Structure 1
Amino acid sequence: MNERRRRFLEGVGTAAAIGTAGCLGRLRTLGGGPDRPPAETADTQFRGETTRLGVFPEQTVPSSVTVDWRLDGLNTGGHTAAKGSPVLAPTGDIVVTGDTGEVWAVRPDGRRRWRADATDTPRGFHGTPAIANGTVYVGAYDGALYAFDLETGEQYWRTQLGDAIGSSPGYHDGRLYVAVEYYEPSGAIFALDAVTGEVSWEDRRITDHPHSTCAIDREAGRLVVGSNDGRLYCWSYPDHEFLWTDDTGEEIKGPIATWDGSAFFGSWSDRIYRVALSDGSEEWATDLGASVMAGPSVEGSTGTVYVGDQHESLYALDAADGDEQWETDVGGPVIGCPTVTSEHVLVGSYEPKLTALTKSTGEELWAVPAEGEVTSTPLVTDDAVYVAERTSEASLEGEGSTGGLYRIVADE
């Protein structure tokens, strides 16, 4: 065990006292998880599942919408990274994290079931939770991974891993996989037991802050994650043998998506890439003319990749060769991931607004103005669309409301 890792583990007991659960439950560093066998797959996690495709063909969106409600005070900081995205829990609640250091479980009528005030780090939570075993798992900018009871918000455990976690955890077969940042700068990727929070594997070869969210492709037997050093890192899965890196030369900030034996991701090199999972060879790279901080959505049934850039555009690209199918100006930089439904693609921007486009043509269906920049990934349920925003520039200067959570419904 390296000295840095030992120092973090020795300090866990003190650091755990920072967190408080919404129901003032027990605080634990390790152990105390749900008394049940761990599930093979999560009930829900960032972008739907471990390949991070962001495609939900069973969902539809209304042709005209209105804001049902907005809950203020979720995000109050000005950090430019994308904020945590809402997810639908098996309880029917919407679970979302904020840079305030809070986790919310919100009923569809806008009432909070519980609120866990878990960390006082200035940047709080930016990752999106994974939900499995009746538990909410998420990492924070204090460098710890947390587990909360889904029904009550009680904190099951807190495991200190590094200096910051800006990525979202992936869950499979009773383990959580998450990229972790260190101040040096350096990074690591960890696997933790989902019941106890104990570390079962780690690899510290990443040389700069890995803000990217990893993808696990079980069919290809690969685990991949990007980093600020510009490299995509790949291990075999589930045995964690390191295999290769692909170097783009600039930061890889967004989550990785995998499909059809390939990894898809953007870079600050202004390009989006398709790379073979087998050996890291580049299959294509499309120059979008502006840096790509967001993660792509990959729709296998149509062979289409949807991705936004930091200019003002959302693109549809051919997954086979990267050729552009259409480009739509959405009014502001895109740093959050799009969500693809049966007929539409939804994306937030700095405009600030949430936009729904017809996925075959890129034509705008509707746009909902927001008070702050929309940098989270939209969640589409059977009866609503949910999205979180960053705090507005006005509120950072002491005027106006802070970043909120929206419920958007059909305008009937």
Structure 2
Amino acid sequence: MPPSRRAVLGAIGLAATGGVAGCLDSSTPGRIDDAGLPASAAATTSFRGGLHRRGVYPDATVPAEPRVEWTLRGVNTGDHTAAKASPVATPEGDLVVPGDAGDVRRVNPDGDVVWTAAVEETARGIHGTPVVANGTVYVGAYDGALYAFDLGTGERFWRRVLGDAIGSSPGYHDGTVYIAVEYYDPSGAMFGVDAVTGEVVWADHRPTDHPHSTCALDRETERLVVGSNDGTLYAWTYPDLTFAWSFSTGDAIKGPIATYDGSAFFGSWDEHVYRVALDDGAREWAAETGDMVMSGPAVEAATGTVYVGSHDSRLHALDAVTGNTRWTFDTDGSIIGCPTVAGDHVLVGSYDRTCYALEKLTGEARWTVDGVGYVTSAPTVVDGAVYFTDRASEAHLDGGDGPTGGLYKVGPAAGG
């Protein structure tokens, strides 16, 4: 008789006590997660590459001369302007991609849909990016529920209603799924949910005003942190999950939190990017941008650089120690999605309906690929190809027959 999912996850949870849940590249043998520690035997892929949410893939390569190999339409169809969900890789090299139409799809590199699963409320569908752990896809939806789907078949294992809406992305560690949840009040909470049963094992209702931010878990400093629309960064000790401290900004913290070198990095709608100490919540620096910051930062340890977008249409490259600007790149639209560092490049989407590949040391544009709608997902690199999703076209949103938002695969040009 094959082992049960409980037995498998339990065994992996014990192994993960000395290992890691998040990995940089699930398709790379001997993978190393973004803490620089060996990954556990069970592959886990998640939004921003791991529990630290740094969005950095040092061994990834992108096409030198790109072409769109295929586009899968119908992924995003709604008018909600929050950043769209990003595709994540499976250990086998397929993609799992949710959309605001309310579907989760597993898609292979040829663009074939392996399976489709649906959430129960499709008015705003899904904006959070899944975590894939131990053969299960975990994702939250705007019906306020956290879902667990079988990675192989798309079968739903369980659905747990936690609140009124979930716009954030889950994290997984040691048998527990962590996610921020919103209520209509407006208020919110952070939850820990048993990965096998869907039962709530921990909750804290301190975050208020629709927490949309995605949490980070930093095992070196023993902190779990998340932002909220109330303008506050919240921190708990880990693994005992005792409230530790809070840090207030002047406006909403909507984007993912990244952790590196004992600090949390994040943007605020008060037009600043912050570095805050994880041990006590002290501000270490605040870098001013020209507009709100909804984008989550990519933090590269090798170069000591923080890459983050802003509504000012610029991608900002900041010194991680000082917060000083190294370079900026101006697009023609707001940047609300997260950048991805892939080898020597930074990939980022914009409201100008374009996905950019920039040289990470200088900010010089190497290539661009156009979508039909705003490109607000974080680009994902798998086996040398770039995947991203976009919003539906304005023609579609206006009730016409324009194209819906899709999943794009960008590969090398013929002969490239």
State how many pairs are aligned. Answer: 381
What is the CA distance between 1:119 and its match in structure 2? 2.1
8 Å contact kept, 1:65–1:408? yes
Q: Which residue of 2 aligns with 1:161?
A: 162
Of 385, 409, 412, the residue aligned with 1:410 is 412
8 Å contact kept, 2:189–2:207? yes
- The amino acid across from 2:8 in the alignment is R
> Aligned partners of 1:255, 1:119: CA distance in 2, in Å?
25
8 Å contact kept, 2:289–2:312? no
Deviations 1:56-112 (A, max 9, x none): 001011211000000100000011100110000013210010111100000100110
User: Compared with structure 1, are the counterparts of its residues 193 and 402 closer, same or farther at alpha carbon in structure 2 (3 Å cutoff)?
Assistant: same
8 Å contact kept, 1:174–1:195? yes
8 Å contact kept, 2:235–2:246? yes
> Aligned partners of 2:261, 2:384: CA distance in 1, in Å?
31
Matches within 5 A, 1:370-389: 370-389=371-390
What is the CA distance between 1:34 and its match in structure 2? 6.0
8 Å contact kept, 1:73–1:403? yes
- The amino acid across from 1:253 in the alignment is K
Q: Which residue of 2 aligns with 1:187?
A: 188
> Aligned partners of 2:6, 2:70: CA distance in 1, in Å?
33
What is the CA distance between 1:33 and its match in structure 2? 5.3
User: Compared with structure 1, are the counterparts of its residues 46 and 399 closer, same or farther at alpha carbon in structure 2 (3 Å cutoff)?
Assistant: same
Matches within 5 A, 1:342-361: 342-361=343-362
8 Å contact kept, 1:103–1:117? yes
What is the CA distance between 1:250 and its match in structure 2? 0.1
> Aligned partners of 1:130, 1:344: CA distance in 2, in Å?
24
Q: Which residue of 2 aligns with 1:36?
A: 8
> Aligned partners of 1:93, 1:55: CA distance in 2, in Å?
19
> Aligned partners of 1:207, 1:404: CA distance in 2, in Å?
33
What is the CA distance between 1:35 and its match in structure 2? 5.5
- The amino acid across from 2:196 in the alignment is V
Q: Which residue of 2 aligns with 1:4?
A: none
Matches within 5 A, 1:316-327: 316-327=317-328
> Aligned partners of 1:227, 1:194: CA distance in 2, in Å?
24
Q: Which residue of 2 aligns with 1:399?
A: 401
Q: Which residue of 2 aligns with 1:226?
A: 227
Q: Which residue of 1 aligns with 2:288?
A: 287
Q: Which residue of 2 aligns with 1:144?
A: 145
Matches within 5 A, 1:85-96: 85-96=86-97
8 Å contact kept, 1:231–1:247? yes
Matches within 5 A, 1:7-406: 36-38=8-10, 39=12, 40=16, 41-42=21-22, 43-397=44-398, 398-406=400-408
> Aligned partners of 2:120, 2:194: CA distance in 1, in Å?
21
8 Å contact kept, 2:379–2:386? yes
- The amino acid across from 2:85 in the alignment is G
> Aligned partners of 1:114, 1:206: CA distance in 2, in Å?
35
> Aligned partners of 2:222, 2:173: CA distance in 1, in Å?
13
> Aligned partners of 2:337, 2:259: CA distance in 1, in Å?
18
SS at match of 1:399: coil
What is the CA distance between 1:37 and its match in structure 2? 2.5
SS at match of 2:97: strand
Greater CA drift, 117-126 or 309-318: 117-126
SS at match of 1:36: helix
What is the CA distance between 1:378 and its match in structure 2? 0.3
8 Å contact kept, 1:312–1:329? yes
> Aligned partners of 1:215, 1:350: CA distance in 2, in Å?
26
Q: Which residue of 1 aligns with 2:29?
A: none
> Aligned partners of 2:187, 2:363: CA distance in 1, in Å?
39
Q: List runs of 5+ in structure 1 lacking aligned partners.
A: 1-31
- The amino acid across from 1:99 in the alignment is D
> Aligned partners of 1:356, 1:276: CA distance in 2, in Å?
31
- The amino acid across from 1:408 in the alignment is V
8 Å contact kept, 1:262–1:277? yes
> Aligned partners of 1:300, 1:105: CA distance in 2, in Å?
32
> Aligned partners of 1:121, 1:115: CA distance in 2, in Å?
14
- The amino acid across from 1:295 in the alignment is G
> Aligned partners of 2:222, 2:121: CA distance in 1, in Å?
38
Q: Which residue of 2 aligns with 1:21?
A: none
- The amino acid across from 2:9 in the alignment is P
SS at match of 1:62: coil
> Aligned partners of 1:62, 1:114: CA distance in 2, in Å?
28
SS at match of 1:153: coil
Deviations 1:5-60 (A, max 9, x none): xxxxxxxxxxxxxxxxxxxxxxxxxxx95652343325100011000000000101
- The amino acid across from 2:63 in the alignment is P
8 Å contact kept, 2:93–2:383? no
Deviations 1:194-253 (A, max 9, x none): 011111000011121100000000011000000000000000011001011100020000
Give the alignment's Cα RMSD to 1 decimal. 1.1
> Aligned partners of 2:208, 2:62: CA distance in 1, in Å?
42
- The amino acid across from 2:409 in the alignment is R
What is the CA distance between 1:117 and its match in structure 2? 1.8
8 Å contact kept, 1:178–1:190? yes
> Aligned partners of 1:358, 1:53: CA distance in 2, in Å?
18
User: Compared with structure 1, are the counterparts of its residues 363 and 347 closer, same or farther at alpha carbon in structure 2 (3 Å cutoff)?
Assistant: same
